Amino acid sequence: MSALRVVLDADVLIGALDRDDPHHAQARELFAGWHEREVTRVMSVVNLTEVLVAPSADRERLRIAREAIAALGVSIHRPGEAIGVRAARLRTAHPISLPDAYCLATAAHTGAMVASFDRKVLRAAGAERLTIATAPVA
C-alpha cells in the first residue's frame, strides 16, 4: 500500500464521474496520476453521500455510480467521534459546510493530502496546514 494518501472532497469525485461537469478533465487527470503513483484515494462517508445524491434518483444510475467509484479505487472512511469533534471545530473556524469540514477533518486525522476544487475548502486546508493535492480552479 502507498504511503501517500489523498482525501477527496465530493466535487473531485463528482467531476470524475460526470462528463458534463466543468472539472471532469482535471478530475480524470488527477485520478490517472494518483493511480500511476499508487496514491491511496479516500473519501469520508459524509462526502460520499454528497456524491450519491444525484445518482440516487434512479436505481440504475446509483448502481453505475457506485461501481465507478469502486473502479476508481476510492475507499470509504467512516468517521469516529474524534473526527466528528474536529469537523465541528473546523466548521466553526472556517466558512465551509459541515461535509467540507468532514473532508478536512478526515485528512487531518489520517495524515492525508486534501483534493478539492472549492476555494473555500482549499483556503481552510491551507489555514489548517494541510497539504493540498489540487490547485484551485473555480
What are the structural domains, with CATH classification, of the chain?
Answer: 5-127 (3.40.50.1010)
| CA–CA gap between residue 26 and residue 73 (Å, rounded) | 17
The more confidently predicted of residues 126 and 135 is 126
19: alpha, beta or left, given left = phi > 0 and alpha = psi -120 to 50?
alpha
pLDDT digits (tens, 9 = 90+) for 50-78: 999 999 999 999 999 999 999 999 999 99
Q: What percent of the chain has pLDDT over 70?
A: 95
Q: Would you give the DSSP letter of residue 72?
A: T
User: 32, 136 in Cβ contact below 8 A?
Assistant: no
Of 87, 95, 89, nearest to 122 (Cα)? 95
In this prediction the pTM is: 0.92
Confidence class of residue 122 from pLDDT cuts 50, 70 and 90?
very high
